[in-house]
């Protein structure tokens, strides 16, 4: 696998990195299959809690809002997962006996964080329960909240979700979390050891990259799906969209420049000045951008970046619209009046007899 001129030849170096990443990925296949099996079956209904403003935006766009994971309601959620992963990684590395491998392994805490650069996760959260007091407290401050009951089974199983989007169940058991991380790290270390023992690659070509990239990839979903055991009652699922923010902003800048140049050319033509054809503005063909609209909403933290996830059903009673089977009005001082206006709003957007309406059974304390 090693290539003598890989350092001088960028093409050879790229092929070597690709081969190494494939080797790591193949050795992680069993662990990833086990990880997916832990996700169990997607429930018939998953409930998304939001505000009235959120409801209007979601229904109006036929899309859910997925927010930058760093702006989630409880910032400790992500730090808990990162700390747990770091602890297990340090423990497994400490057990390495081969001195050559051990000396090459990174020691910086947090090196497994795959979201420092490149693609960043945007998340829309769901619960298996439709009427949770903790959720109403989190999403109903300042205005009455609602929980939206979706059926995402067909979309998630038939690969009908938007690109780079996947549905995952949150794991709350600490031992289960640690076991999943340990299995991935051990497989990663075993792959590295095998490559070195076979002489397939020089250690300087393996570390720090692409070996670090491989471990980051193996642990990416764990970092997004681990939550402290005290939140277990939520039984949360997450719809995760990977977005390369830097690339999306670069593409947006490119498109804005193109539009400005076109406008300038049209204005010159209107003035009777024939300009020679202008070559299109250059843009990297290997761009990781999809052409997403990066949107922003207000919060106590300031502006929260989010993207819309179009989830139109492709068949049945909700064809071309969200598979919105249930809507529950959150606790409010006047539930009857709130339900009446909610019913009118939904029916005006095509959600009539097939969307069940109900009101929270939790009393509102004035």
pLDDT in tens, 339-362: 999 999 999 999 988 999 999 998
Measured CA to CA, the distance from residue 308 to residue 305 in angstroms comes to: 10
Query: Do the beta carbons of residue 333 and residue 100 sit within 8 Å?
Result: no
pLDDT at site 280: 60
pLDDT at site 117: 66
Measured CA to CA, the distance from residue 29 to residue 23 in angstroms comes to: 10
Containing structural domain, residue 175: 10-244+288-359
pLDDT reading at 115 higher than 70: yes
pLDDT at site 272: 78
Domain presence at residue 193: yes
Query: Do the beta carbons of residue 240 and residue 123 sit within 8 Å?
Result: yes
pLDDT at site 178: 96
Task: State phi, psi for 37 to the nearest 5 degrees.
Answer: -65, -25
Domain presence at residue 273: no
Query: Do the beta carbons of residue 188 and residue 214 sit within 8 Å?
Result: yes
Whether residue 362 has a cis bond before it, omega within 30° of 0: no
Task: State phi, psi for 195 to the nearest 5 degrees.
Answer: -60, -40
Cα–chain center distance at 37: 19
CA proximity to 14, closest of 220, 342, 319, 286:
286
pLDDT at site 27: 92
CA proximity to 192, closest of 215, 171, 211:
211
Alpha helices in 118-210 (DSSP H): 133-139, 153-157, 174-197, 203-206
> How far is residue 116 from each of residues 66, 113, 124, 324, measured CA to CA in Å?
19, 6, 20, 35
> How far is residue 5 from each of residues 8, 10, 71, measured CA to CA in Å?
5, 9, 45
What does the mean pLDDT of the chain come to?
87
Domain presence at residue 16: yes
* Angle in degrees, CA 6, 10, 15, rounded to 5: 70
- What percentage of the chain carries pLDDT values higher than 90? 55
pLDDT reading at 321 higher than 80: yes
Query: Do the beta carbons of residue 327 and residue 356 sit within 8 Å?
Result: yes
SS3 300: coil
pLDDT: is 194 or 40 the higher one?
A: 194
pLDDT: is 99 or 263 the higher one?
A: 99
The domain total for the chain is 1
Confidence of residue 281 (pLDDT cuts 50, 70, 90): low
Measured CA to CA, the distance from residue 141 to residue 153 in angstroms comes to: 30
Question: Can you tell me the mean pLDDT for 311-323?
Answer: 87
pLDDT at site 116: 65
Per mean pLDDT, which range of 168-177, 189-198, 254-263, 341-350 is the poorest?
Answer: 254-263
Question: Can you tell me the mean pLDDT for 164-186?
Answer: 95
Q: Which residues are within 8 A (CB) of 101 and not within 5 positions of it... i.e. 6 or more apart?
A: 189, 192, 193, 196, 203
Q: Is the backbone of residue 121 left (phi > 0), alpha (psi -120 to 50) or beta? A: beta
pLDDT at site 158: 66
Measured CA to CA, the distance from residue 270 to residue 286 in angstroms comes to: 36
Q: Which tokens hold the place of 226?
A: 């681990």
pTM here? 0.86
Domain presence at residue 3: no
29-37 and 10-27 helices, crossing angle to 10°: 50
Q: Which tokens hold the place of 366?
A: 């004035």
pLDDT at site 278: 64
Confidence of residue 163 (pLDDT cuts 50, 70, 90): very high
Per mean pLDDT, which range of 11-15, 134-138, 183-187, 279-283 is the poorest?
Answer: 279-283
Question: Can you tell me the mean pLDDT for 117-124?
Answer: 86
pLDDT reading at 366 higher than 60: no
pLDDT at site 140: 58
- What percentage of the chain carries pLDDT values higher than 70? 90
CA proximity to 177, closest of 105, 111, 69, 80:
80
């Amino acid at each position: 696998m090693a290539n003598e001129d890989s350092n001088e030849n960028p093409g050879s170096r790229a092929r070597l990195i690709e081969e190494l990443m494939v080797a790591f990925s193949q050795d992680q296949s069993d662990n990833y299959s086990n990880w997916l099996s832990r996700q169990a079956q997607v429930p018939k209904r998953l409930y998304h809690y939001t505000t009235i403003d959120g409801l209007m935006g979601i229904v109006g766009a036929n899309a859910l809002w997925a927010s930058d994971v760093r702006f989630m309601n409880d910032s400790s959620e992500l730090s808990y997962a990162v700390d747990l992963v770091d602890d297990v990684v340090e423990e497994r590395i400490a057990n390495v006996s081969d001195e050559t491998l051990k000396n090459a392994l990174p020691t910086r805490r947090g090196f497994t964080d795959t979201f420092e650069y490149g693609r960043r996760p945007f998340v829309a959260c769901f619960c298996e329960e439709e009427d949770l007091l903790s959720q109403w407290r989190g999403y109903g401050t300042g205005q009455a909240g609602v929980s939206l009951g979706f059926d995402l089974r067909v979309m998630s199983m038939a690969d009908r979700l938007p690109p780079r989007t996947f549905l995952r169940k949150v794991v709350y058991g600490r031992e289960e979390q640690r076991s999943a991380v340990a299995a991935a790290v051990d497989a990663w270390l075993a792959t590295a050891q095998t490559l070195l023992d076979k002489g397939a690659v020089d250690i300087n070509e393996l570390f720090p990259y692409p070996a670090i990239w491989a471990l980051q990839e193996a642990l990416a979903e764990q970092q997004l799906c681990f939550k402290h055991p005290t939140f277990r009652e939520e039984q949360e699922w997450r719809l995760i969209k990977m977005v390369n923010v830097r690339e999306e902003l670069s593409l947006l800048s490119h498109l804005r420049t193109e539009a400005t140049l076109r406008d300038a050319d049209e204005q010159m033509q209107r003035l009777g000045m024939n300009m020679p054809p202008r070559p299109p503005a250059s843009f990297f063909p290997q761009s990781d951008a999809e052409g997403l609209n990066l949107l922003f909403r207000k919060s106590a933290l300031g502006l929260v970046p989010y993207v819309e996830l179009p989830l139109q059903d492709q068949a049945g009673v909700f064809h071309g619209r969200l598979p919105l089977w249930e809507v529950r009005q959150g606790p409010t001082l006047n539930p009857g009046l709130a339900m009446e206006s909610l019913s009118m709003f939904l029916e005006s957007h095509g959600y009539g007899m097939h969307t069940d309406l109900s009101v929270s059974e939790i009393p509102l304390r004035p």
